[in-house]
Structure 1
Amino acid sequence: MNKIMRKEALLCLSLMLTQSYAFASSETDNTLKQAEVHALAQKGYTVKGIVKDQLGEPLGGVSIVVKGTTVGTTTDLDGNFTLNVPGNNVTLSFSFIGFKSQEVSLKGQTDLNIVLSEDAEMLDEVVVVGYGSMKRSDVATAISSVKPEDMNLAGANSRDVRQLLDGKVAGLSITRTNGSNPNNGVAVQMRGVVSVNGDIAPLVVIDGIPGGNLDLLRSEDIESIDVLKDGSAAAIYGSRANAGVILITTKRGSKGKTSVDYSTYLTHYWGIERPDFMDATEWRSAMGKFNNPSYMTDRGSDTDWFDTLLNSGNASHSHNLSISGGGESTLYRASLYYSNLEGIGKATDREQYGGRMSLETKALNNMLTFQTNMSLNYGNMNLLGGDGEWESALRSNPTNPVYNEDGTYYEDYAKDENKVARLDQQQYDKQQTTSSFDGKLIFEPIKDLKGSVFVSYTRDDYKERRFYDVDSRISYNSYNSGGYAWKKSYMKTTRTLEPTIEYTKTFLDNHKINAIAGYSYQYQVYEQLEAN
């Protein structure tokens, strides 16, 4: 449905600019002739150089990109680089973690000597790395950190908060799998297929809980998202992290006056473009051209089956209310939310509401810290719509009527299904309740040494129901017109225990040792019951 109903059009306008160059010819050893410059602009040329820090040390791995293009390279271990650029009048952008980005306008230069300045603010930034946090300057692995101000706010109204990362993390591909349907999430891929089972999704860790449920999160409750992209993720979380790890940290209270925040959004979807299929008039014309073949029948009506599935009056809205604050030793934050989401297709609505609370308190002269998070979510989903209906509707005979003369639904039991009747005579819904609790006790008896115990409990409980009316097409074809009812109950509980000990020591001003040892225990129970 994504390709059909939510096709966003980009209008690109290309402008060709012509600029005249005039050069003085006083010093021939550092002046290019006008003809040579035009030749370079047309054919492109090679730029070489070296990138160093302020102390003169070469920097390896610096990203170099021709601004406004995808042409680029990186420096080698000695800071050297070679790059073929499309013209002489371009700008090169140099960027490297921990350093301020720099742009250089070439203007015919072929040999560059670049010096990057350290970005002290970025180096002091704290990022989450598995069982702890570190300054970015101390991180030696591939990690990307996305703060709320950098997130893709176009994904704020998505049920799956991972869409907030869309276009924000290099190498992370995020695809919305079924257009505007709020009951479908996104497909996330970081390193391609990483197991014989074809698993491609990174492991999601929410506030320390591996495999945390994304239904418990609202975009307004997220403090930061850190993405571990290399093999070190598997060293922490095992083989389940082969495709990388997405670490999500939720907001906590801050010291000061109590703060109350409210946010809301309203969304409406329009169908602006659709495939060009025959209407009833064109169908009848085609029948004449093909000498009225038996597989083409004119049943006298003019029905736009595609249009009958459109929820043209769709309106999605969401509301989030939070309160936070704290004093010297205790911080708190609580939030409540409600959302009612509708897709552009009928029978794809989703209603959700829930809340989240966090508390942090310190004792024993700040040697002892206790942190806890609790969250609850309830969702009611209509899963009947969006199940291959759009393609089927476009293939349906446009001369078929929706209703018989007596007001009952018209049904061609051998060929095209009446989609309007299906939405009225069938039911497929899901009610889901998800809850989570976690607590962490941190004890730091002496400087540089701390121990912690993390425990969590999550529960995912849902019920699915299907119902086919006795008059429905599927009841006639598959159940001897006797109707059908089916129900499934599912429950999954997860218990986690993770004790850790961490030692960090800085000596001789600029040398640091960081060691962490821990144990992770996770126990899961699945229960499922079906009846029809």
Structure 2
Amino acid sequence: MKRILLLGLLFTSVWLEVMAQQQVTGKVTDSKGEPLPGVNVLVKNTTIGSVTTQDGNYSVSVPPENTILVFSYIGYITQEITLNGRSGIDITLSEDLQSLEEVVVVGYGTVKKSDLTGSVSSISSVELKAIPVATFDQALQGRAAGVQVVQSTGAPGGGTNIRIRGTSSVNASSEPLYVIDGMLINSNSGETSIGGRGPAVNPLATINPSDIESIEVLKDASATAIYGSRAANGVILITTKRGKAGKASVNFESYYGVQTVTKKLDLLNATQFAQLVNEANQNAQLTPVYTNPESFGEGTDWQEELFRQAPIANFQLSLTGGNDKTQYAIGGGFFTQNGIVEGSDLDRYSFRTNLNTDVNEKLKVGVNLSYNRTINNGVLTGPGPVVQGVVYNALLFNPILPVYDPLRPGGYTFQHDRRDAIANPVAEAKEYISTTTTSRLLGTVFAEYEIVEGLSLRSSFGIDGLSTKSNSFGPNFLKRTENSKGEAGVSTLEALTWLNTNTLTYNKEINQDHTINALLGFEMQQFRNESVNSYAFGFPESRTGWHDIGSADNPQTTTNGELEWSILSYFGRINYSLKNKYLFTLTGRADGSSKFAEGNKYGFFPSAAFAWRVSEEEFMKSNNFINDLKFRASYGVTGNQAIPPYGSLALIGQIGQGVFSTSSGSEAFRGREPVSYPNRNLKWETTKQANIGVDLSVLEGRLGATVEVYHKNTEDLLLGTPIPYTSGFETTLLNIGNVQNRGIDIALNSVNIDGNIRWTTSVNVSVNRNKITNLAREEDINLGIGGNILREGEPIGTFFGYVFDGIYQTDDEAKNSPVIAGQNPSAGDRRYKDISGPNGMPDGVINDFDRTIIGSAQPDFTWGVNNTLTFKGITLSFFFQGSQGNEMVNQNLGDLANVNGRQNVLASAGLGRWTPQNPNNTYARALYTANDNVFSSRFVEDASYLRLKNLTLGYNFPASLLEKIKLSNARIYVSGTNLWTLTDYSGYDPEGNAYGGTTNIVGVDFGGYPQAKTYTVGLNLGF
């Protein structure tokens, strides 16, 4: 009886609560009066809500109190409406495409987008999350006009090359400055990557992309000059996620995917290779090697053995919330990526907390703190110090040989039997262990005090602590350790950057016509690292690996190093707005750097900008077509000090061991000598940049455009320059030479369809022309790799060599043609053009006079196009990205198209080789003694490409369902990355660059790690 009574009371209370709720109905329309389906209607701070129907109607049951309804829809401004007892509410949502009130992060502050005078591109967290990547810099590709991102390696955690408006330097870094929550971080791989034998780790791989809320790219001098001596290559500002006042929310984000190699090169199989070897020997009057080539069949596919399907996964959990005084965001994540090449992978553990609180009406304090730990296992790719990388070896290895040989130590086939330098790639990848572990603590604490209304003082202190350890071990049965008899290495690096920033900001509005924002700042930064490298050779057995390096038979000398630099800065900025139409910005920064010589340590970097908001003029008020029109112009000077410290000093180094004879016998000694020539006049590189831009929005924001034209001149290049031998040195670092970059940036966005189906498009196109305008010398600088030269009047990345002119078809043709000295060609050999002699005319001889410019790595233009379609809760996005007009040196062809029978080759070269019956004009004849690797235009290929970078299909679950399962949001999606590439380039990847870390050697593919094609499925949940 008691149970029945209790059930009855419970039922009655629930019924009374339901009856007390109010039913609210209404309709949601856009600015044209058209109904908006799929609009989320939620009771604020609850999970109660519904979604509008096809006709824009909604109905929701709400509590009887003064309830607030929140109306939200992608692309429209969210509205909050207090009911005040009303049972019917019709509202109109305004489009949020123009976003003129959007706040944009700039150097040491923020500004409304409408008030920008400089060139700034913004990338949101939504765009960053579109592609599953290990590092945020990879996700920037194709997202912003004027920003060229080349992912030169597909290795887990591998870095990118980012060029903002071209390459401005030759010897110094051309990478942008990164600023995370106000902390200027050191991404210089020469100072933050370990010098051991572990994998080359991208310093940016320690930053969790899931922590990022938005990225702003500062491009012109007006935007970057506030960072002075480090802003010549542009600035990338990163803002991490913050908490918001309101109910605490928990969000879980995850995805899991599978990676595969995007492309395999078509090589000869075992039978075809054996036939080639026999023919190459016969043409060289040697005995054929294989008696029955057909018996080998397909043989070993070394690419198939080396490449694998590899998983990639990410898990992120975050908690955000707060009240009017305190807001917090706490998050942790785990990312793991196995490489598509055996033996390579990356794991990252990350934690971040951001906290802001108003202590009182005057004082605000906060902290941004992150800890990330990465563990990277790598393999040798590209040209190696002892043997070539594993990818390159897989291409060249004899397909007749098996991967495993149980009779050999270690159980692997040792090496290629036709060419000693080619190691078993599978053995090298699996058995040579190379691990780098990096921990990074990055954070800032700040306090901001409002002295009087409009005047505030902010002081912050930040640290960037990096600890890296690299362990490597190669057992004695590998080709790579053949000479060392087994080797191990242990290397450590500790690096610490601290930064103190103090700013005084003044905001004042006078008579609604004049607005002033002024900033004064003082900043100090110091960097220091210490490294220790220990190696040992001779390990009779492999069980202890690097864990017992002291047991080696042949320990090597331990080395260590230290590095330190500091910068002291004063800066200021004034923004003045007259009637919200005429905008002026003046910026200046004085930097003093320890890297430069006495008397040249300080540099001053000013800029000025003006913008005219034409759309605010009276004569434009009656215009219903143009919503916003603004013209901008700026000019300024920025600097580059990204060189190693001590360049202005005479350094002393060890010269080895000698012996003194004394009365008591002999005594060993180690000597010292100067190792660098001091330059007492060393100073900054300076870049002067002019920028003119126009921002336009029409048709109520349905079409927007930004077009900018810029001109950059970099002077006083920091360039290694030959000096007289009487100095005792060959070169020294001097300030000589100029580089010019000119170009156009175009960004377009549009709403193509705006109804039940919504289709938006964003397009960006970048055109840049790079040219060395002064080298302070008459002769070219031959960089010695991939035909790269530096020549006055030509761009960085210019290729120089002979012009390939086909194949000699007869012996008489070869005998009567100009040839390179020392060569005696016959029918089927390569031919080169006789272009010029000492007098400028062809002279019948092929020599250095016949070498000419044969290509450039600089593209005509780069671009990106992103389309997003939504229908109710379904979203489909597809992102294309590409480059046009750039060329690539396919250095791999030196072996892969050399049909001498000593290594495997491309099927097109091996099967299409010249014979009297196949008199082609592309591939030479098979000849064992052939080693014609004369650098010529046959190595240079068109590397233009069009790539479907990402395709994503997602579904957002409706609010009615979410309410039942007590979720605030839920999304599931499937995604594909690098799904399709259209290119004429014959290598793995038209982006591949074996020397991606350098500034002046670009566009050379030599056995690099290919990019992967990735398929993922993801789930996002909000509580």
Q: How far 1:411 moved relative to its partner?
A: 1.6
- Selected match of 2:444 from 438, 453, 460: 438
**Match status 1:311 vs 2:327:** no
Q: Note if contact 2:507-2:515 (Cα within 8 Å) is conserved in structure 1.
A: yes
Call closer, same or farther: CA 1:427–1:197 in 2, change over 3 Å: same
- Selected match of 1:203 from 158, 165, 177: 177
Cα shift readout 1:92-111 (whole Å, capped 9, x = no counterpart): xxxxxxxxxxxxxxxxxxxx
Q: How far 1:234 moved relative to its partner?
A: 4.3
Q: Distance in 2 between matches of 1:152 and 1:252?
A: 17
Give the equivalent residue in structure 1 for 2:125: 148
Secondary structure class of the residue paired with 1:444: strand
Q: Distance in 1 between matches of 2:150 and 2:363?
A: 43
**Match status 1:521 vs 2:524:** yes
Give the equivalent residue in structure 1 for 2:102: 125
- Asked which structure has the greater RCO (Cα within 8 Å, sep 6+), the reply is 2
Give the equivalent residue in structure 1 for 2:365: 370
- Selected match of 1:382 from 377, 381, 388: 377
Give the equivalent residue in structure 1 for 2:319: 323
Secondary structure class of the residue paired with 1:474: coil
Secondary structure class of the residue paired with 2:504: strand
Give the equivalent residue in structure 2 for 1:244: 234
Q: Note if contact 1:462-1:490 (Cα within 8 Å) is conserved in structure 2.
A: yes
**Match status 1:176 vs 2:179:** no
Q: Distance in 2 between matches of 1:346 and 1:208?
A: 39
Q: How far 1:281 moved relative to its partner?
A: 1.2
Query: 1:376-525 residue pairs with structure 2 within 5 A?
Result: 376-384=371-379, 386-387=381-382, 388-404=389-405, 406=407, 408-412=411-415, 414-476=420-482, 478-479=483-484, 481=485, 483-525=486-528
Give the equivalent residue in structure 1 for 2:994: none
Q: Note if contact 1:506-1:512 (Cα within 8 Å) is conserved in structure 2.
A: yes
Give the equivalent residue in structure 2 for 1:334: 330
- Selected match of 1:225 from 200, 215, 219: 215
4+ runs of 1 displaced by more than 4 Å? 118-121, 291-301
Q: Note if contact 1:486-1:530 (Cα within 8 Å) is conserved in structure 2.
A: yes
Q: Distance in 1 between matches of 2:487 and 2:171?
A: 34
Give the equivalent residue in structure 2 for 1:188: 162
Q: How far 1:168 moved relative to its partner?
A: 2.0
Secondary structure class of the residue paired with 2:139: helix
Call closer, same or farther: CA 1:296–1:489 in 2, change over 3 Å: farther
The AA in structure 2 aligned to 1:364 is: N
Secondary structure class of the residue paired with 1:520: strand
Q: How far 1:147 moved relative to its partner?
A: 2.1
Cα shift readout 1:48-102 (whole Å, capped 9, x = no counterpart): xxxxxxxxxxxxxxxxxxxxxxxxxxxxxxxxxxxxxxxxxxxxxxxxxxxxxxx
Q: Distance in 2 between matches of 1:378 and 1:496?
A: 22
Q: Distance in 1 between matches of 2:476 and 2:397?
A: 23
Q: How far 1:290 moved relative to its partner?
A: 3.5
Q: How far 1:120 moved relative to its partner?
A: 9.5
The AA in structure 1 aligned to 2:363 is: L
Q: Distance in 1 between matches of 2:125 and 2:414?
A: 52
Q: Note if contact 1:397-1:416 (Cα within 8 Å) is conserved in structure 2.
A: no
Secondary structure class of the residue paired with 1:269: strand
Q: How far 1:228 moved relative to its partner?
A: 0.7
The AA in structure 2 aligned to 1:411 is: F
Q: How far 1:390 moved relative to its partner?
A: 1.9
Q: Distance in 1 between matches of 2:255 and 2:287?
A: 49
Q: Distance in 2 between matches of 1:153 and 1:378?
A: 21
Q: Distance in 2 between matches of 1:496 and 1:436?
A: 11
Give the equivalent residue in structure 1 for 2:351: 355
Q: Distance in 1 between matches of 2:220 and 2:230?
A: 13
Taking only aligned residues, the RMSD between alpha carbons, in angstroms, comes to 2.3
The AA in structure 1 aligned to 2:156 is: P
Q: Note if contact 2:255-2:315 (Cα within 8 Å) is conserved in structure 1.
A: yes
The AA in structure 1 aligned to 2:135 is: D
The AA in structure 2 aligned to 1:322 is: S
The AA in structure 1 aligned to 2:121 is: S
Q: Distance in 2 between matches of 1:343 and 1:154?
A: 20
The AA in structure 1 aligned to 2:181 is: D
Task: Decide which moves more: 251-260 or 288-297.
Answer: 288-297
The AA in structure 1 aligned to 2:165 is: R
Q: Distance in 1 between matches of 2:428 and 2:103?
A: 54
Q: How far 1:499 moved relative to its partner?
A: 0.6
Q: Note if contact 1:203-1:246 (Cα within 8 Å) is conserved in structure 2.
A: yes
Call closer, same or farther: CA 1:357–1:125 in 2, change over 3 Å: same
Q: Note if contact 1:183-1:348 (Cα within 8 Å) is conserved in structure 2.
A: no
Q: Distance in 2 between matches of 1:425 and 1:510?
A: 72
Call closer, same or farther: CA 1:385–1:267 in 2, change over 3 Å: farther
Call closer, same or farther: CA 1:121–1:289 in 2, change over 3 Å: closer
Q: Note if contact 1:348-1:386 (Cα within 8 Å) is conserved in structure 2.
A: no
Q: How far 1:383 moved relative to its partner?
A: 1.2
Give the equivalent residue in structure 1 for 2:112: 135
**Length-normalised TM-score, structure 1:** 0.72
**Length-normalised TM-score, structure 2:** 0.38
Q: Note if contact 1:152-1:166 (Cα within 8 Å) is conserved in structure 2.
A: no
Structure whose CA Rg is larger: 2
Secondary structure class of the residue paired with 2:272: helix
Give the equivalent residue in structure 1 for 2:189: none
Call closer, same or farther: CA 1:168–1:338 in 2, change over 3 Å: same
Q: Distance in 2 between matches of 1:303 and 1:403?
A: 11
The AA in structure 2 aligned to 1:382 is: N
Q: How far 1:152 moved relative to its partner?
A: 4.8
Secondary structure class of the residue paired with 2:495: strand
Q: Note if contact 1:491-1:527 (Cα within 8 Å) is conserved in structure 2.
A: yes
Q: Distance in 1 between matches of 2:530 and 2:223?
A: 30
Call closer, same or farther: CA 1:289–1:141 in 2, change over 3 Å: same
Secondary structure class of the residue paired with 1:360: strand
Q: How far 1:441 moved relative to its partner?
A: 0.5
Q: Percent identity?
A: 31
Q: Distance in 2 between matches of 1:333 and 1:216?
A: 19
Q: How far 1:270 moved relative to its partner?
A: 2.4
Cα shift readout 1:433-463 (whole Å, capped 9, x = no counterpart): 1112211111113221111001101101010
Call closer, same or farther: CA 1:412–1:343 in 2, change over 3 Å: closer
Secondary structure class of the residue paired with 1:243: coil
Give the equivalent residue in structure 2 for 1:108: none
Q: Structure 1 unaligned runs (5+)?
A: 1-117
Q: Distance in 1 between matches of 2:522 and 2:185?
A: 17
Q: Note if contact 2:217-2:234 (Cα within 8 Å) is conserved in structure 1.
A: yes
Secondary structure class of the residue paired with 1:123: coil
Q: Distance in 1 between matches of 2:480 and 2:218?
A: 48
Cα shift readout 1:144-178 (whole Å, capped 9, x = no counterpart): 122223x15443x2122123322221110112111
Call closer, same or farther: CA 1:529–1:170 in 2, change over 3 Å: same
Secondary structure class of the residue paired with 1:475: coil
Give the equivalent residue in structure 2 for 1:267: 257
Q: Distance in 1 between matches of 2:115 and 2:222?
A: 14
Secondary structure class of the residue paired with 1:421: helix
Give the equivalent residue in structure 2 for 1:92: none
Secondary structure class of the residue paired with 2:428: helix
Q: Distance in 1 between matches of 2:184 and 2:464?
A: 11
Q: How far 1:357 moved relative to its partner?
A: 0.4
How many residues end up aligned between the 2 structures?
407
Q: Note if contact 2:437-2:468 (Cα within 8 Å) is conserved in structure 1.
A: yes
